[in-house]
Amino acid sequence: MKILIITDIHSAPDKIFSYLDENPVDQIIITGDVTEFGPEDYFIETLNKFSEYAQVHALQGNCDPKNANELLDKSNIINIHDNTSNIGDIELVGFGGSNPTPFDTPNEFSDEILYNELSKYKDVLCSDSYTILVTHAPPLNTNADKIESGAHVGSEGIRKIIEETQPTLNVCGHVHESIGQDKIGDTVVVNPGDAANGHACLLELTDEDIKNKNVNIKIFTIQ
């Protein structure tokens, strides 16, 4: 099974569409910022275009329209904001938007809210299944949340839920320049980088990988 994971498209999906034209995948996970503050019709249109390539599980980023959660429900994808879904035996838990930023973007939540909302899904996240926590914001103090100055700007609430539940994988985004992989306990954390500039990652899993909770993930750049 091939799962394409992308984030921070920011209204520039063409490189990803070109990749998908030549490289079929089985599933797509989008971790937010599909658009640069909309517009609403384009948000839905872009998601629907991705759904022509594979089944899509998506949530909103902080720079998507304020009503993005409603728009996700109107599109042809599976809305995983404050929700769960599954890919076969893989369990997904999602929460979009970000912790507070200096820019007062449309979808921001306090770390307390991020933690409390994700706590509703603790039973899923700490189950024996292969579990993927899908967030737009990265967890605090990792290779996935460092801005150019070197400061860490991720979410304390998301880090706390990962520490407590230890899902197999956390895929996130938000901090474009913090492309990379890290671990919090047994949880692998991956930020693919912004898809607007061709950054993405591919999770390739066999049935045996899913059974043994192996994370075979490749971060790459589409030229």
* Residues paired with residue 98 on neighbouring β-strands, in sequence order: 108
Q: In a 3-state reduction of DSSP, which class is residue 196? A: helix
pLDDT value at residue 157: 98
* Preceding omega of 102 cis (within 30 degrees of 0): no
Structure tokens at 85: 């879904």
Q: Where are the alpha helices (DSSP H) in the chain?
A: 14-22, 40-51, 68-74, 111-119, 122-125, 156-165, 207-212
Cβ atoms of 137 and 118 within 8 Å: the answer is no
**Per-residue model confidence (pLDDT) at position 131:** 98
Global pTM reads 0.98
Supply the range of the domain harboring residue 203: 2-221
Q: In the chain, what percentage of residues exceed pLDDT 70?
A: 100
Residue type, 55: Q
pLDDT in tens, 100-127: 999 999 999 999 999 999 999 999 999 9
Amino acid at 48: N
How do beta strands 199-204 and 217-221 pair?
A: antiparallel
Q: CATH no. for residue 171?
A: 3.60.21.10
The label of the residue with tokens 């912004």 reads: 194
State mean pLDDT over 34-48.
Answer: 98
Total domains, the chain = 1
Mean pLDDT on 148-155:
96
Q: How far is CA 181 from the centre of its chain?
A: 13
